[in-house]
């Protein structure tokens, strides 16, 4: 990956872009992708998010011409994938299902890909080194760990030194070191001016990796926006208050038209409250505060709010029983057995209707 991509006249138009226009895919009665239109641009990592079954993999398969759209179109660098003579030079992809010939070594697998795309053999050694698989180049991938398999898939994606890279769930099942490696690689590729389009279920991972987000639910576009705008537009802020006189504080807040709810460990939480105003109110009533902290919503929370209506298969967390609405305890965010804590992310507010537990108890029921 020696060069940076520089813009010529073509680069100003469509080069490095993936353009979807009214893309639709139906499988019988099922509409997997429903009129999607968006453009993925170079120089940044674009995260592609959506609950299970939202249509991410189907969309990515249509980008690569592996599935035929029922309606609409996808263009890469201005043309459909199937019109490209040597597509690996334009777009490299890692899809969930890896097609590796069981009898071929890692080296030969890449060599076959290279030969069918007019790529010189020396590039095979280069990409194996880039992904750290040079020592196992002559081994068969069937004995590879999940992480090694992902690295081999990424080596294949990088083979043609393409300007556009597309990864479907690249960190699925990887250990922290593997996740860190892929994240760093994607950011590096984007800094080189490449287009990086990556799907993931891991909200916290996307928060650290992507600058732009495309969110879909049940095949439809829900958001196409920057990361910071996405969080701001789809989440509400909350203020946490801790005081030795919670009842009196509550009365003061209610008198101001605010709606405090019982928070974690005896705290009060106010949706949409302004911390400065609450602090002034407390001072004017002589109330001692032990904590007054705005709770910034995490990407995970913003995502769940946005997609709550469009998840395909709902399952409910154990907390949906009689205890739902109580203080966040074990199993709640940040607690053992709960969702991964988010940097700056709040605990689930008590009193709020429970939402499906992300990544905990959702299971797909595929017709495939």
Binding site for ligand ATP (CB under 6 A): 27, 30, 32, 50, 52-58, 312, 364, 366-368
Report, in Å, the least distance between residue 31 CB and ligand ATP: 8
Q: Environment class of residue 187 by beta-carbon count within 10 Å: exposed (0-12), middle (13-18) or buried (19+)?
A: middle
Of the pair 161, 312, the CB lying nearest ligand ATP is at: 312
Q: Identify the residue whose tokens are 């660098």.
A: 77
First to last CA, the chain: 38
SS3 23: strand
Report, in Å, the least distance between residue 366 CB and ligand ATP: 4
Of the pair 68, 284, the CB lying nearest ligand ATP is at: 68
Report, in Å, the least distance between residue 215 CB and ligand ATP: 11
DSSP string, 226-270: EHHHHHHHH---EEEEE-S-HHHHHHHHHHTT--EEE-GGG-EEE
Of the pair 54, 154, the CB lying nearest ligand ATP is at: 54
Q: Would you say 138 and 184 are in contact if contact means Cβ atoms under 8 Å apart?
A: no
Q: What are phi and psi of 359, to 5 degrees?
A: 70, 5
Of the pair 122, 368, the CB lying nearest ligand ATP is at: 368
The span from the CA of 159 to the CA of 57, in Å, is 22
Of the pair 14, 174, the CB lying nearest ligand ATP is at: 174
> Over 173-202, what HEC string results?
CCCHHHHHHHHHHHHHHHHCCCEEEEECCC
Report, in Å, the least distance between residue 218 CB and ligand ATP: 8
The span from the CA of 144 to the CA of 150, in Å, is 9
Q: Would you say 18 and 195 are in contact if contact means Cβ atoms under 8 Å apart?
A: yes
Report, in Å, the least distance between residue 368 CB and ligand ATP: 5
Of the pair 83, 364, the CB lying nearest ligand ATP is at: 364
The span from the CA of 65 to the CA of 93, in Å, is 12
Report, in Å, the least distance between residue 201 CB and ligand ATP: 6
Of the pair 18, 287, the CB lying nearest ligand ATP is at: 18
Report, in Å, the least distance between residue 137 CB and ligand ATP: 30
Report, in Å, the least distance between residue 170 CB and ligand ATP: 13
DSSP string, 77-112: TTB-GGG-SSGGGTEEEE-SS----TTS-HHHHHHH
Of the pair 58, 339, the CB lying nearest ligand ATP is at: 58
């Amino acid at each position: 990956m020696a060069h940076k991509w520089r813009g010529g006249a073509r680069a100003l138009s469509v080069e490095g872009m993936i353009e979807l226009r009214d893309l639709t895919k139906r499988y019988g009665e099922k509409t997997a992708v429903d009129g999607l239109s968006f453009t993925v641009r170079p120089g940044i990592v674009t995260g592609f998010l959506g609950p299970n079954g939202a249509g991410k993999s189907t969309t990515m398969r249509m980008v690569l011409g592996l599935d035929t759209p029922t309606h609409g179109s996808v263009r890469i660098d201005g043309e459909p994938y199937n019109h490209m003579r040597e597509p690996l030079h334009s777009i490299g992809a890692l899809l969930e299902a890896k097609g590796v010939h069981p009898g071929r070594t890692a080296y030969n697998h890449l060599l076959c890909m290279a030969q069918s795309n007019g790529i010189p053999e020396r590039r095979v050694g280069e990409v194996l080194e880039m992904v750290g698989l040079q020592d196992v180049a002559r081994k068969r991938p069937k004995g590879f760990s999940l992480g090694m398999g992902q690295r081999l898939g990424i080596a294949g994606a990088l083979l043609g030194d393409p300007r556009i890279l597309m990864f479907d769930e690249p960190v699925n099942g990887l250990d922290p070191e593997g996740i860190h490696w892929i994240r760093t690689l994607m950011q590096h590729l984007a800094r080189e001016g490449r287009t990086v389009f990556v799907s993931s279920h891991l909200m916290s991972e996307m928060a650290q990796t992507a600058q732009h987000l495309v969110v879909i639910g049940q095949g439809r576009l829900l958001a196409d926006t920057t990361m910071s705008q996405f969080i701001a537009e789809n989440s509400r802020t909350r203020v946490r208050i801790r005081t030795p006189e919670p009842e009196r504080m509550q009365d003061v807040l209610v008198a101001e038209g605010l709606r405090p709810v019982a928070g974690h460990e005896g705290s009060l939480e106010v949706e949409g409250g302004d911390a400065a105003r609450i602090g002034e109110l407390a001072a004017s009533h002589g109330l001692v505060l032990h904590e007054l902290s705005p709770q910034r919503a995490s990407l995970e929370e913003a995502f769940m709010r946005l997609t709550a209506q469009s998840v395909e298969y709902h399952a409910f967390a154990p907390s949906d029983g009689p205890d739902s609405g109580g203080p966040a305890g074990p199993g709640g965010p940040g607690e053992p057995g709960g969702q991964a804590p988010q940097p700056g992310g709040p605990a689930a507010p008590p009193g709020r209707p429970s939402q499906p537990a992300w990544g905990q108890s959702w299971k797909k029921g595929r017709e495939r």
